[in-house]
């Protein structure tokens, strides 16, 4: 069990590393075709590479694609297969990550939080009730002109702090740990080119929100691109001849159930989401994404689109609609439910760290979901930050410590019990 001394060590280690990591600008860039997409991510990778070597990890390597790996050998008598903890270097393209100046608000008073570099900006407990869970405690924010970068530098700092504790306190048992820090998660490329041979049998991403969050489900995701082929004729002489692809595409989209859209759904409800519509009389293209937690629901939506296409081709003779459906990712629960020990140990590790569990289904995808289907079952554990991707992003210092404690407990449970 982490003693008060170890808990304090984890808190200080995670905090100092976190403050060091957020100072490096690692905003990723969707427009870039480089790997990683921005050079700043490599700057942080090199810094953490040095830290991993200082801790004495083996096989520390920064790969050409910007993946940083390192191995901590198992403690004596561990019964566990190798385990991987993951976090990502990059921050969201949605806000600047340059010159992040973190502010530690030592004793949060429960009132509105203001930002020195942006007098208009305010974060209040009315719009963010979770703030009140940490009244009287230290919180960290940015200064108002950038995001903070707790997503996911908190995860990195927590993993590094746990490694430091495992090295410093030999009484803490643990499996062989194969650490992986990854680039470009925010632009959906966080597992492109990852070396599976360097990863463990099971993994945990430290990339969730509020203290206690544990995520073992995400969306099933399809993309649908519909190409409408029409026929253009001079509008003055178009009667019974013109097939206006753009107008028909608009009618097609209008027949989709309005309530099944992102703006009308929450929790476990799925949706159709039109992301782009463009065209003219000859040709129009509608791009949409389809999301559900249950795979048969995704299939039902695809089938509904197919039937609508058939109906529209009957209604407008001469019209052709060419659909292309691609699977984007699948609900990781399909894999994780086959390996219940992963989530079950995470729940017990959190309980041992005194953390109240919040079980959640992610209304999106994660790198963990992709890793699940690549062969490494990987649920997502809280990193502790909130209001990700915004200038009001914040994290309580307690989250950094508790995530570190959760990792240490997880390591102990795996080492003692095995699979």
User: Which among 152, 158, 184, 185 is annotated as catalytic?
Assistant: 185
Separation CA 2–CA 77 (nearest Å): 19
- Concatenating the DSSP letter of every residue in 236-253 gives GG-TTT-B-HHHHHHHHH
Does residue 90 have an active-site annotation? yes
What contacts 399, CB < 8 A, 6 or more positions away?
Answer: 154, 210, 211, 382, 383, 384, 385
Separation CA 361–CA 363 (nearest Å): 6
- Nearer to Zn ion by Cβ, of 118 and 328: the residue is 328
Q: How far is the CB of 93 from Zn ion (least distance, A)?
A: 13
- Nearer to Zn ion by Cβ, of 13 and 151: the residue is 151
The window from 150-158, 166-174, 280-288, 310-318 that contacts Zn ion (CB under 5 A) reads 150-158
Whether the CB-CB separation of 355 and 180 falls below 8 Å is answered with no
Enumerate residues 188-207 that contact Zn ion by CB under 5 A.
Answer: 207
Enumerate residues 204-233 that contact Zn ion by CB under 5 A.
Answer: 207
Reference 218, options 67, 70, 369; nearest CA is 369
- Nearer to Zn ion by Cβ, of 6 and 214: the residue is 214
β-strand pairing of 139-141 with 271-279: unpaired
What contacts 317, CB < 8 A, 6 or more positions away?
Answer: none
The window from 130-138, 144-152, 337-345, 370-378 that contacts Zn ion (CB under 5 A) reads 144-152
Interface with Zn ion: number of residues (CB under 5 A): 3
Asked if 151 interacts with Zn ion (CB under 5 A), we say yes
Q: How far is the CB of 90 from Zn ion (least distance, A)?
A: 8
The window from 136-144, 152-160, 256-264, 285-293 that contacts Zn ion (CB under 5 A) reads 152-160
Separation CA 232–CA 236 (nearest Å): 11
- Both tokens of 144, joined, read 């108002």
Q: How far is the CB of 385 from Zn ion (least distance, A)?
A: 9
Asked if 367 interacts with Zn ion (CB under 5 A), we say no
Reference 175, options 70, 87, 86, 77; nearest CA is 77
- Nearer to Zn ion by Cβ, of 377 and 384: the residue is 384
Does residue 176 have an active-site annotation? no
Q: How far is the CB of 185 from Zn ion (least distance, A)?
A: 6
Asked if 184 interacts with Zn ion (CB under 5 A), we say no
Q: How far is the CB of 269 from Zn ion (least distance, A)?
A: 23
User: Which among 13, 49, 90, 213 is annotated as catalytic?
Assistant: 90
The window from 69-77, 93-101, 116-124, 143-151 that contacts Zn ion (CB under 5 A) reads 143-151
Q: How far is the CB of 324 from Zn ion (least distance, A)?
A: 29
Asked if 152 interacts with Zn ion (CB under 5 A), we say yes
CB < 8 Å & 24+ apart, contacts of 415-419: 415/74, 415/75, 415/77, 415/78, 415/79, 415/80, 415/173, 415/174, 415/175, 416/79, 416/173, 417/79, 417/80, 417/345, 418/79, 418/80, 418/81, 419/80, 419/81, 419/341
Binding residues for Zn ion (CB under 5 A): 151-152, 207
Q: Which residues are catalytic?
A: 90, 185
């Amino acid at each position: 069990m982490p003693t008060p001394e170890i808990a304090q060590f984890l808190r200080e280690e995670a905090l100092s590393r976190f403050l060091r990591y957020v100072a490096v600008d690692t905003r990723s860039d969707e427009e870039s075709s480089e790997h990683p997409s921005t050079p700043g991510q490599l700057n942080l990778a090199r810094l953490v590479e040095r830290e991993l070597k200082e801790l004495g990890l083996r096989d520390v390597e920064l790969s050409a694609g910007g993946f940083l790996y390192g191995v901590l050998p198992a403690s004596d008598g561990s019964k566990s297969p190798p385990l991987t903890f993951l976090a990502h270097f990059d921050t969201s393209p949605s806000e600047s990550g340059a010159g992040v100046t973190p502010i530690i608000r030592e004793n949060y008073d429960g009132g509105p939080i203001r930002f020195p570099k942006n007098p208009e900006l305010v974060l209040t407990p009315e719009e963010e009730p979770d703030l009140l869970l940490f009244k009287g405690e230290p919180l960290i924010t940015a200064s108002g002109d950038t995001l903070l970068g707790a997503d996911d530098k908190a995860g990195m700092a927590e993993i590094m702090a746990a490694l430091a504790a495992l090295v410093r306190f030999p009484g803490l048992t643990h499996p062989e740990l194969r650490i992986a820090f990854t680039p470009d998660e925010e632009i959906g490329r966080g597992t492109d080119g990852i070396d599976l041979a360097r990863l463990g049998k099971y993994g945990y991403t430290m990339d969730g929100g509020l203290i206690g969050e544990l995520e073992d489900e995400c969306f099933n995701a399809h993309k649908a691109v519909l190409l409408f082929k029409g026929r253009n004729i001079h509008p003055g002489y178009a009667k019974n001849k013109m097939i206006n692809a753009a107008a028909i595409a608009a009618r097609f989209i209008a027949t989709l159930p309005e309530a099944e859209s992102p703006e009308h759904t929450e929790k476990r409800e799925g949706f159709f989401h039109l992301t782009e519509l463009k065209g003219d009389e000859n040709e129009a293209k509608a791009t949409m994404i389809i999301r559900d937690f249950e795979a048969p629901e995704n299939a039902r939506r695809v089938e509904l689109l197919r039937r609508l296409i058939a109906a529209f081709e009957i209604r407008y003779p001469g019209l052709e609609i060419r659909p292309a459906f691609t699977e984007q990712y699948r609900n990781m629960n399909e894999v994780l439910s086959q390996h219940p020990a992963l989530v079950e140990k995470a729940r017990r590790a959190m309980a041992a760290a005194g953390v109240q569990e919040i079980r959640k289904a992610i209304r999106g995808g994660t790198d963990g979901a992709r890793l699940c289907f690549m062969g490494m079952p990987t649920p997502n554990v809280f990193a502790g930050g909130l209001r990700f991707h915004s200038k009001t992003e914040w994290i309580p210092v307690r989250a950094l410590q508790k995530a570190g404690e959760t990792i240490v407990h997880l390591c102990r449970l795996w080492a003692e019990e095995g699979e």
